[in-house]
Amino acid sequence: MTKDEKEIAACKKVAEAINKAEGTDFTPLKAQSRAPDVVLRSTSGRYADRLLEVVTIPRDVTMREDNSNILRLEDELRMSLLEAGVKGCDVDLNIRDEVYKQGIGRRAIRELAELIAAEPKRESWRVTGVELRPHSKELSRKLYSVRVHYHPKLRDVSVCAGLGGWIPADGVWIEEAISMKLKKYGGPKAVQDWILVIGASLFVDAEQIESFRSTHRQDTLPFREIWLVSPFHGVVPLKRSL
C-alpha cells in the first residue's frame, strides 16, 4: 500500500467509529489541498465535512515514510503467506535499521512465511530474532521480533513492518506524535478544527494508552478530536468533541 492508501485506510476506520457512534454516513476522501490529509464527507450530504490530519508515532515508519524496502517486505511476505495457505492474521515485524536501508532478501522472506505457516494457529505468538537464527541467519540479523495475531473474523493477511527498539511505559510516543503536527502547523489554534488520526502498529500498547489518558484531560488537548488506530487495539478515541 502507498502512503496515501494507508492514510485513507486508517481514516476509514475512524469514519466507521464516528458513524456508529453518531449515526452519520461519512466516508474518507483524499484532500485536494496540502493540508489536512483527508476529508470526511457525508455520502448523503446531510453533514458538514470534517478535516483529518494523519500522523504516526515517531518510531513507526510504516505510514510516515513511503520506503520501497518496507513496502516490498510487507507485500512479498503477505503474498508468500497467502500462497502458503495462511489467512486471518496480522503479522507485525519489529525490524532493525538495516532493513529500512537495505531490505530483506526474497529467500529470507519465503523462509519467514514457511515458518509462520508451520506454527500452530493459536491466538497470538511471538518469536525473537535470536530464536530465528536456526531458520535463517539473515532474518535473525535483521529482525528484532515477529508477532502473529490470528482473528477468527479476518479473512485476509495484514503485514506491518516498523523500526524496533525499546517501548516506553508511559504515553510519551503519543505525545510526540501530537507535538509533531502542532510544530508543523504553528500551534493549537491552527489545528483546533481538525481531527488528528494517529496511526500505530504494535509499538503503542495498552499501558501507554492508559498512561496518556490518565495524564491528559481531554479539554487540555489540541485538535477537535484525537483518534489512535492500531491493528491490535483497533480504533481508540483519545479525545472526542461530543
Rg over CA atoms, the chain:
19
Q: What is the pLDDT of residue 168?
A: 64
From first to last of the 242 residues of the chain, give the pLDDT tens digit. Answer: 677 888 999 999 999 999 999 999 999 999 988 789 999 999 999 999 999 999 987 655 555 455 788 889 999 999 999 999 998 888 989 888 788 778 999 999 999 999 999 998 888 898 988 899 888 999 999 998 899 988 877 778 989 887 665 566 678 888 988 998 999 999 999 999 999 999 876 567 788 889 999 999 999 999 999 999 987 778 999 999 87
Grid cell in block for residue 233: 487495539
- All structural domains of the chain with their residue ranges: 3-59+167-239, 68-163
Centre a 10 Å sphere on the Cβ of residue 221 and count the other Cβ atoms it contains: 17
Fold topology of 3-59+167-239: Trna Endonuclease; Chain: A, domain 1 (3.40.1350)
User: 221 by DSSP, 3-state: which?
Assistant: coil
Q: What is the pLDDT of residue 2?
A: 74
Q: What is the pLDDT of residue 154?
A: 76
Which residues 6+ apart lie within 8 Å of 180 measured at CB?
A: 55, 58
Q: What is the pLDDT of residue 164?
A: 60
Q: What is the pLDDT of residue 238?
A: 96
* DSSP category for residue 1: -
Q: Are β-strands 26-30 and 143-150 bridged in parallel, bridged antiparallel, or unpaired? A: unpaired
d(CA 181, CA 102): 29
Q: What is the pLDDT of residue 16?
A: 97
Residue with cell 495475531: 149
* DSSP category for residue 233: T
Q: What is the pLDDT of residue 122?
A: 80
Grid cell in block for residue 187: 500551534
- For 95, counting Cβ atoms within 10 Å of its Cβ (0-12 exposed, 13-18 middle, 19+ buried), the class is buried
